[in-house]
Structure 1
Amino acid sequence: MNTRAYYELQAAQALFEKPCSALDEAQTRKMRAVAQRYLSIETAVLGSSEASGVCLPPGAVDEAFGEIAARYDSTTAFEDALDEAGLNPTSLRDALARKLRVDAVMARVGARVPAVDATAAEIFYYTHLERFRTPERRTARHILVTINEDFPDNHRDAASARINAIAARIAQRPERFAEQAMKHSECPTAMNGGLLGEVARGQLYPELEAALFALPEGGRSAVVESELGLHLLWCEQIHPERTVPWAEVRESLCKRLTEERARRETRQWLEDLLACAQAGS
């Protein structure tokens, strides 16, 4: 069956990022089980009353076909992969059309769920306020001098002398921090004046986090060592912890809750459909 071959090809890639022919015995069993599950879902969905009248938009199959073909280095490589999977361009298009119809039916089922209105979303917001709190963040820049005993300029003593000289220049003229980062930092952020962006706790090495979150707004650290090397930090701005106001999340929350409701409805519909199919088999 062309559709089975397509789902086996998809399962092999999704599970193991390999063609079917490269799977070992255990992987093949797993791949075939997943492909069979996909095939059972397809059969049940396309046989449902909800599938009646579902049509694909013009060009949908061609677009899906092109996306798959684009994963390969050449047309020959693509055709070889299809041949190895027991497919050809025509049978692949047929399988894609069925798969896209399944997606369209599932979308139809989800779309019949009524949208979550602002009142329901606001109740959810105020009963789950902890979900709308953003942690304290700090806009920071840093300068890095690495320690590497394989290079004379990066021996510990040399690296320490270099970063202390940078720190001395910045102490005289703090506004030169970004300039000094561009000239001397050995981190890719040097290209942007050492900018780390808005940083929350848990994103930096522990030594850097401790130093950064101990600084006042506008403060600069002493030399800090991490496993990367020696750093200087500048806390440009502190963004305090806050609860995102209802007005800011109203639209996106209504949309998200509606999507979650639609996913639950679709999942339940599919489970019921498969249970009926199994009972009737």
Structure 2
Amino acid sequence: MNAIADIAIDPYTLLRSSLSLFRKPPADLEREQLKQAARQALNEYQIELRVLSSNEAAGVIITSEEVDAALLEVRSRFGSDEEFETALQLNGLDAERLRMAIYRECKVNTVLDKVSARAPKVSDVEIGIYYHTHPEKFNLPERRAVRHILITVNPDFAENGRDSALQRIRELQQKLWRKPHKFEDLALKYSECPTALQGGMLGVFAKGTLYPEIDEALFALKKNEIGGIVETEIGFHLVQCVEIHKAETLSLQKATPKIRQIMQERYRRNCQRSWLAGLSRE
């Protein structure tokens, strides 16, 4: 922190900037990274102060329940109260300072939402123009929904050595030959991927998105078919093609909700930026 010791910086804003820029807390940053995070934190804090001093902020009330909910969300990122308290101390915070910072953040966000509500509504004509001037966005390639079971290879653990991992995935393959409808249950029980909690569901993907080995196997399968054992750099997989979505061009009617969402969000951001620029001039 020596690089910025002579500057008063709100610790919560510095933490937020550090995580946003580098996905690390300030204590883990190198000197130049810390300077960059500090500059962004100072800028954000000054903007927040202007927002909170605006006429729009005067009538905004943040309830204790809102702050409690936001604090609970922050606390949920830590495994224990001790881990949470240690993180606060390392970042120059305590429970009260964190609560005040969360309150300020909630109020700033509420004011910005209030301002962005002034943005004009997207018209059907604008949606039509967007659709016809961006045809490439609505030509969808073939996509496939896929589940997988992963057994990782890690020589540091006997049960995950390559031979052991291969034996385990073969045993699962044999079970699926007999009972292919048990794929979700076996994924939940044995897969070493976080997707195990969703029965191994990876998602819906176009060709060329996944590991090349999985990609090749997946796009050779029929619906509900389970492929052979696939090896990637992280381990062994069993892959199931759950659904096949054929290539299509979205109609204007189908594309309208997404276009409206994209354009409305753009209008909201522009409205906020214009308002913030006006505050800076004042």
Normalising by the smaller structure, the TM-score range is 0.5 to 0.7
SS in 2 for 1:266: helix
Q: Distance in 2 between matches of 1:235 and 1:104?
A: 44
Instruction: Give the distance between the partners of 1:160 and 1:47, measured in 2 at CA.
Output: 63
Alignment correspondent of 2:256: 250
Q: Within 5 Å, which residues of 2 pair with 1:24-63?
A: 29-48=35-54, 50-51=55-56, 53-59=58-64, 62-63=67-68
SS at match of 1:138: strand
Decide whether aligned partners of structure 1 residues 126 and 8 sit closer, same or farther in structure 2, where only a CA change above 3 A counts. same
Equivalent positions of 1:156-235 (< 5 A) are 159=167, 162=170, 166=174, 170=177, 176-179=179-182, 187-188=191-192, 198-217=204-223, 221=227, 224-227=230-233, 233=239, 235=241
Aligned-partner Cα distance in 1 for 2:170–2:99: 63
Tell me whether 1:116 sits opposite 2:119 in the alignment: no
Separation of aligned partners in 1, 2:168 and 2:49: 68
User: Residue 128 of structure 1: which of 122, 134, 145 is its match?
Assistant: 134
Q: CA deviation at 1:241?
A: 1.5
TM-score (norm 1): 0.64
Q: Does 1:8 align with 2:15?
A: no
Counterpart AA for 1:261: Y
Q: Secondary structure at the match of 2:244?
A: strand
Query: Cα offset for 1:25?
Result: 5.9
Q: Deviations over 1:161-215 (max 9, x none)?
A: 957x949x94xx7xx4344896799645789887655443234331232233234
Q: TM-score, structure 2 length as denominator?
A: 0.63
Deviations 1:199-245 (A, max 9, x none): 43234331232233234556665665444566665545422122233
For 2:39, give the aligned amino acid. Answer: A
Unaligned residue ranges in structure 2 (runs of 5+) = 1-6
Aligned pair count? 261
Greater shift, 263-272 or 91-100, is seen at 91-100
Q: CA RMSD in A?
A: 5.0
Query: How far apart, CA to CA, are the structure 2 residues paired with 1:60 and 1:258?
Result: 29
Q: CA deviation at 1:132?
A: 2.7
Local SS of the residue matching 1:202? coil
Q: Deviations over 1:2-54 (max 9, x none)?
A: xx97833331354055477x877656644543332123213333444x43643
Whether the 8 Å CA contact 2:223–2:244 is kept in 1: the answer is yes
Structure number with greater Rg is 1
Structure 1: gaps (5+ residues): none
1:130 Cα deviation from its structure 2 partner: 1.9
- The one-letter code matched in structure 2 to 1:242 is E
Please tell me whether the aligned partners of residues 142 and 232 of structure 1 are also in contact (alpha carbons under 8 angstroms): yes
Counterpart of 1:8, as a letter, is P
Preserved contact between residue 17 and residue 37 of structure 2 (Cα < 8 Å): no
Equivalent of 1:240 in 241, 246, 262 = 246
CA change 1:5–1:95 in 2 (3 A) is farther
- CA shift for structure 1 position 264: 1.5
